[in-house]
Structure 1
Amino acid sequence: MSGRGEEGAPVPGPRPEQAQVPERAQVPEPSSDRPAVTQLRLSAFAGHRGRTVELTPLTFLTGPSGSGKSTALRAYEALARLGAGAGLAEVFPDPLSCVPEGARPDAQRRRGFRIGCTADGPEGPVRLDIAVQADPELRIVGERLTAGGLVLLETALRDPGRPVVQAAWHTAGTSPVTRGPLPDDRLGTALLPLRVAGKTAGQRQVLAAAEQMVVALRSVFACDPRPAAMRTPVRFGGGRLLRDCGNLADVLWRTRAECARRHGLLMAAVRAGCAGPADDLLAERLPDGALRGLLDRGDGRRTDLRLLGDGELRYLALALVLLTGPGVLEIDRAGEVPDALQALTVVADGFDHCLDPRQSAELLRLAARMCERGHLRLAAAVSDASGLADVEGATVVELGV
């Protein structure tokens, strides 16, 4: 993969020196048997250039409006969706918004962006870097998967007239590499298990690194609770929480019956962050079969969740996300990998949006407690960083600096 550098380079590929895995001092590593993304790279993405974000079990992005907090998390979510097998057009419906501001097209009138990440786990640090062409047509024009300084997969666009990239992956057999075409609208790393036989030690190394990266990316749940969606009764479904938490009542119908201990923890959080008495949080089936959420006040009164304020609804949804497990969240988990070998990562933009100081403080304490126990990882953007200094184990990344 090649490019002309960041100045005016429309579709720069991952640079050769990225095959060298840098040391990341003072960054806690995840459990060795649970792959997790520990570094996000925004080489050339929207307003970011050459930005590296270290991700610990509890990471908060701060900075003034326009500093790129939401953009950074959007890149993280995009990598997660690509790792789960989503198509490029689905992940980037507006690809031109991802092109760095002021980027000039090259001689072929192409422009694009570059992002990447590192996943730590049993195979050590595994790096993934991709170069995406956004204009004149959307396609992945370069991808590199590396581990221990060794390039395990590398792709490049050879024939712009064909919807494929030429791929070369490590073999270490009679031939050092194996070559073949891969589609230009899918992440090649996620496709390797279908293309690599695993007959040689080199091929098995490729498969192990690819699996670690894919498991880390597929263990991500990006959420942005929308109070308007949460106020509408929902049909009975599978009880898996959606990104906007609009099916909160359906999930409460399931979780309240399945796990009394976690529901008890949720109620403790509700009492700490919501106004008035709270004896229970439950779902009720309406005559037409739909479900609505209710807050039981304990004196015969039940408050319909649609009557709660935006802050209370967002607080309830985020507390539920932090307290539940991957089986309740709408994520495409790696089914062939046991849950015990997967780490759940919650990505939340506007983590403190609409919350009052008491709710923010309670939610931060809950997040710190769950992350410290190893139940999940959290990467969140906050607008008010004043309370983060008191959050045990939190890493604060100031993007405006």
Structure 2
Amino acid sequence: MDANAPVVEPHTRPGEAGAARPQVTELRLTAFRKHRGAVLALGPMTLFAGASGSGKSSALQAYEALALLGCGHDLEAAFPEAADCVPEGARADRQGRRGFRIGCTVDGPAGPVRLDLAVQAVPRLEVVGERLTAGGRTLLTTALRDPARPEVEAAWHTAGAAGVTRGRLPADRLGTALLPLHVAGRTPAQLRVLAAAEQVVLALRSVFACDPWPQRMRKPVAAGPGRLRRGCDNLAEVLHRTRSECGKRHARLAAAARVGCAGEVTDLRVEELGNGTVRALLARGGTCADTPLGRLGEGELRYLALALVLLTGPGVLSVDQVAEVPAAYQSLTVLADGFDRCLDPAQARELVGLAAEMCARGHIRLAGAVFDASCARGVDGVSVVDLVP
């Protein structure tokens, strides 16, 4: 760390009045699966496009892994198949170790903050190095000095006579997420470190990874608190809650259903079955019988589930956000792999339009993967990143 590096005064901290919402604006896949040296810019709505094997899902996997680490999960939870994350053809070092590197940039009240992470996958999963930088200054570095110990040596910027504070952190966690437990926050330098770390954690914790499973959405579900799960299998439960809480958004969802579902659709409603379960139906109107969602095709079910995700928020989606920070200062990011999977062109266009509309309003950010990007090219507010195998 350079004690003579230019000093960047701390900006408004996350959660304070006037603060911008922290958001991930760049994903770096330095060495991860099929990616080497990839730098992917992320806007309010970004879709990764490309053929099978181009690395679309891998990019979203890296983003989700960073989000899990930001939430305090360990490496095994973030990388359940860590050995597969090592780039193809990567050679082991003299000790037989192989790993991968990822990172991101988070913009917000503390300015652009970079997080870079090096992970050893073989022979044992652990962090071998982490770096947090902002304004040309390194705020945190960690390094695995003794493989026999489950700890990394850490040093964070504190100014003063020593310039840095040294300590040990667990080798299976993200050091940045642990800094608030180790930095007192009494001096301007300590506040600068905390502001940068909190900005990164706040952005990473505001992530909802979504991949609807139609086969699990067909059966009635138990009525409950109505927080949508990753696979959207409890869609009927969530509709049961949101239908009464926000009539305007429910009407927008019904309008989307009219475009994306076959036949006449007048509304989406929920039926209580008397045994503590509920099921969702498409209301047909007139003399036509309502259609249970279980009878719909996979494309219709995925379409409805993704539309519901786009029209709800952190109070409905199962997101581990920072409870002490007001929702107005948090930016929810949806990760949607296979965004156009099973959809016909009309459904894909309508869903892209709905997503662009919600992202433009600032309600959400979206990073997704599509096989065919024709539904998104030329749409205002949508960035398409073409990946090549």
Q: TM-score, normalised by structure 1?
A: 0.91
State the match for 2:275 in structure 1.
288
2:64 maps to a residue whose letter is: E
Alignment partners' CA distance in 1, 2:291 and 2:260: 16
State the match for 1:121 in structure 2.
108
Q: Helix, strand or coil: the match of 2:222? A: coil
State the match for 1:302 in structure 2.
290
* C-alpha RMSD over aligned residues: 1.5
Alignment partners' CA distance in 2, 1:352 and 1:384: 8
Alignment partners' CA distance in 1, 2:233 and 2:318: 12
Q: Give CA-to-partner distance per residue, 1:232-254, whole Å, 9 cap, x none.
A: 22112221111100010110010
2:228 maps to a residue whose letter is: L
State the match for 2:348 in structure 1.
360
User: C-alpha displacement at 1:287, in angstroms?
Assistant: 2.9
Q: Helix, strand or coil: the match of 1:245? A: coil
Q: Give CA-to-partner distance per residue, 1:166-212, whole Å, 9 cap, x none.
A: 11011012320101110011111111111110111111000000010
- Between Structure 1 and Structure 2, how many residues are aligned? 373
Q: Helix, strand or coil: the match of 1:90? A: helix
Specify which of 310, 328, 337 is matched with residue 349 of structure 1.
337
Q: Which contiguous aligned blocks of 4+ residues in structure 1 show a shift greater than 4 angstroms?
A: none
1:219 maps to a residue whose letter is: S
User: C-alpha displacement at 1:57, in angstroms?
Assistant: 0.5
Q: Helix, strand or coil: the match of 1:49? A: strand
- Give the conservation status (yes or no) of the 8 Å contact 1:173–1:200: no
Q: Give CA-to-partner distance per residue, 1:341-374, whole Å, 9 cap, x none.
A: 0111111011000001110111111111111111
State the match for 1:5 in structure 2.
none
Alignment partners' CA distance in 1, 2:324 and 2:140: 22
Alignment partners' CA distance in 2, 1:208 and 1:282: 45
Alignment partners' CA distance in 2, 1:162 and 1:389: 50
Q: Which runs of 5+ in 1 are unaligned?
A: 2-30
The answer to whether structure 1 residue 382 and structure 2 residue 370 are counterparts is: yes
Alignment partners' CA distance in 2, 1:79 and 1:122: 20
- Give the conservation status (yes or no) of the 8 Å contact 2:68–2:77: no
1:349 maps to a residue whose letter is: D
1:168 maps to a residue whose letter is: A
1:303 maps to a residue whose letter is: T
Q: Give CA-to-partner distance per residue, 1:318-355, whole Å, 9 cap, x none.
A: 00111111111001001111100011111101100000
The equivalences for 1:158-307 within 5 A come to 158-299=145-286, 301-307=289-295
User: C-alpha displacement at 1:32, in angstroms?
Assistant: 5.8
Q: Helix, strand or coil: the match of 2:223? A: coil
Specify which of 72, 77, 80 is matched with residue 59 of structure 2.
72
State the match for 1:6 in structure 2.
none
Alignment partners' CA distance in 2, 1:232 and 1:53: 39
Q: Helix, strand or coil: the match of 2:159? A: coil
State the match for 2:10 in structure 1.
none
- Give the conservation status (yes or no) of the 8 Å contact 2:56–2:369: yes
- Give the conservation status (yes or no) of the 8 Å contact 1:229–1:246: yes
Specify which of 113, 117, 131 is matched with residue 144 of structure 1.
131
Alignment partners' CA distance in 2, 1:115 and 1:232: 39
User: C-alpha displacement at 1:80, in angstroms?
Assistant: 0.7
Between 45-54 and 225-234, the greater mean CA deviation after superposition: 225-234
1:325 maps to a residue whose letter is: G
2:310 maps to a residue whose letter is: L
Between 284-293 and 337-346, the greater mean CA deviation after superposition: 284-293
- Give the conservation status (yes or no) of the 8 Å contact 2:336–2:369: yes
Q: Helix, strand or coil: the match of 1:129? A: strand
2:338 maps to a residue whose letter is: G
User: C-alpha displacement at 1:378, in angstroms?
Assistant: 0.8
Q: Give CA-to-partner distance per residue, 1:286-331, whole Å, 9 cap, x none.
A: 2321221111111352211110000000000000111111111001
Alignment partners' CA distance in 2, 1:283 and 1:188: 45
Alignment partners' CA distance in 2, 1:236 and 1:177: 53
Alignment partners' CA distance in 1, 2:141 and 2:219: 47
The answer to whether structure 1 residue 334 and structure 2 residue 322 are counterparts is: yes
State the match for 2:7 in structure 1.
none
1:374 maps to a residue whose letter is: G
Alignment partners' CA distance in 1, 2:378 and 2:30: 32
Q: Give CA-to-partner distance per residue, 1:44-75, whole Å, 9 cap, x none.
A: 00000000000000111111110000001100
Alignment partners' CA distance in 2, 1:204 and 1:175: 17
Alignment partners' CA distance in 2, 1:143 and 1:286: 52
Q: Helix, strand or coil: the match of 1:206? A: helix
Q: Give CA-to-partner distance per residue, 1:76-127, whole Å, 9 cap, x none.
A: 0110111011111111111011000011111111000000000000011000
The answer to whether structure 1 residue 397 and structure 2 residue 385 are counterparts is: yes
Alignment partners' CA distance in 1, 2:361 and 2:388: 31
